[in-house]
Amino acid sequence: MLHTHVRMLLASAETTGDLDAQTDALLALLDADYVAHQLHHRGHTLESLSYAWESLARKLCGR
């Protein structure tokens, strides 16, 4: 369900390329284990991770 929603958002933003791969990449960044690793072992904050995710989403959408 979440994959479908994110893919739909990318499509509505007229993103080009492999939308399934792009959707998977965006969702992988939200994986709980990945986020925990970034917070506890890489020194990131939730704010910096949020900014990075938004930045990537905007780049994929050409904005």
Kindly give the residue spans of alpha helices, DSSP state H, lying in the chain.
Answer: 2-12, 19-28, 32-40, 46-60
Domain ranges for the chain, please list them: 2-60
CA distance 7 to 22: 8
Question: How many Cβ atoms from other residues are within 10 Å of residue 21's Cβ?
Answer: 9
Q: What is the pLDDT of residue 10?
A: 93
CB 62 within 8 A of CB 15: yes
What mean pLDDT, rounded, does the chain reach? 93
pLDDT of residue 62: 81
> Which segments of the chain have a pLDDT < 70?
none
